Amino acid sequence: MRIVVLVKPVPDPASGGERLGANGRLDRAAVPAVVNGNDEYALEAALKLTAAAPEGSEVTLLSMAPASAPETLRKALAMGATRGVHVTDPALAGSCAVSTAKVLAAALKQLEFDLVLAGVDTSDGLGGTVPAAVAAYLGLPFLSYAARIEPDEPAGTVRVRRISPTGYDLLEAPMPALISCTQALGEPRYPTLKGIMAARSKEIATRSLADLELDPSTVGGAVATTQVLATKVPPARGATEVVRGTPDEGATRIVEFLAQRRII
């Protein structure tokens, strides 16, 4: 099983210091970068799938990111990914989702894989459109909001449980396919200390737009289809009441709470 995981370095959400620069783009120097949280879930799923069938298996990280990305990708390599491919080019600063998807699709054309996994969205942009767009550019089946991934290698198919408002849908597609991954797939592992040391010798290959045979005038900030005009911090949440006790007591208190506010 050969899996490519799309990985994005994002400003550490725990730092609380995300901000936009004067040009309306995320100020990536302001806050230390971490691997996007949902991407770690996708990577965890990939590592479990390849561990189940290790013969000829590999997990490749693919990231379109500024030049400093390898430092962040090390963590994903330490978790167990086999190698990384880092697409970076000065022309890519300020890329919109369409550009990003075009570039990732071009990079994927140069890789061999059975599955591409991606987090459902990233904590910086939160658009959640890139995975579907990559699938569209490559003509791959797109299975979204995966809570479970079950490949059948001999049959060349993959089954996915897609989270729906009422439960889940069961999807099946031929491989190769692209799957967007949710946190229901299971907690990502910690990088072990031996994994951290082993990651030192793992390869992160760098690819420029020229390497991907992409014309710099067709992607990047200059041709961005969207622009961030302003951002606003959501208002702080009001006080939270935690209801403890037996289920009966809890239910009684919740009914009271809702009734007081004339919600029920």
Partner 1 sequence: MSGDLTSEERLLQATAREFAIRELAPGAIERDESERYDRSLFTKMGELGLTAAPLPESVGGAGFSYLGWTLVMEELGAVDMAMAVSLSVHLLSQYPVVAWGTPEQQARWLPAMLSGEALGAFALTEPHAGSDAAAIRTRAERLGPADAPEGYRLSGTKIWISNAPEAERYLVFATLDPALGSKGITAFLVEKGTPGFRFGAHERKMGIRACPAAELVFDGAEVPVANRLGGEGEGYRIALSALGEGRISIAAACVGIARAGLDAAARYLTERHAFGAPLVEQQGLRFMLAEMAREVAAARAVTREAARAKDRGEPIAEASSIAKWTASDAAMRVATDAVQLFGGSGYSRETGIERLMRDAKGAQIYEGTNQIHRLIVADEVLRSIGG
Q: What are the residues binding partner 1 (CB under 8 A)? A: 71, 74-75, 78, 190-197, 199-200
- 134 CB-near residues (< 8 Å, 6+ apart): 6, 101, 104, 105, 108, 116, 118, 140, 178
CB of 2 to partner 1, least distance (A): 26
Instruction: Tell me how far, at minimum, the Cβ of 162 lies from partner 1, in Å.
Output: 28
| Shortest Å, Cβ 190 to partner 1 | 6
- Does residue 191 have a cis peptide bond before it, meaning omega lies within 30 degrees of 0? no
Measured from the CB atom, is 73 or 130 closer to partner 1? 73
Asked if 110 contacts 60 with a C-beta cutoff of 8 angstroms, the reply is no
The residue among 74 and 207 lying less far from partner 1, judged by its C-beta, is: 74
Q: In angstroms, what is the minimal distance from the CB of 36 to partner 1?
A: 15
- b/e sequence 238-263, b meaning 16+ C-beta within 10 Å: eeeeeeeeeeeeeeeeeeeeeeeeee
- Of 91 and 199, the one with the shorter C-beta distance to partner 1 is 199
Rg (CA), the chain: 21
**Distance between CA 87 and CA 75 in Å, rounded?**
17
Nearer to partner 1, 192 or 252 (CB): 192
CB-based contact 120:132 (threshold 8 Å): no
Closest CB to partner 1 among residues 191, 221 = 191
CB of 200 to partner 1, least distance (A): 6
CA torsion sign, 27 to 31 to 35 to 39?
negative
What angle do helix axes 69-79 and 37-52 make, rounded to 10 degrees? 40
Minimum CB separation from partner 1 for residue 13, in Å? 13
Q: Which is nearer to partner 1, 192 or 218 (CB)?
A: 192
Q: Which residue's CB is nearer to partner 1, number 44 or number 219?
A: 44
Report, in Å, the least distance between residue 75 CB and partner 1.
6
Q: Are the beta carbons of 109 and 137 closer than 8 angstroms?
A: no
- Which residue, 97, 32, 63, is CA-closest to 206? 63
Tell me the C-alpha distance between 67 and 30, whole Å: 15
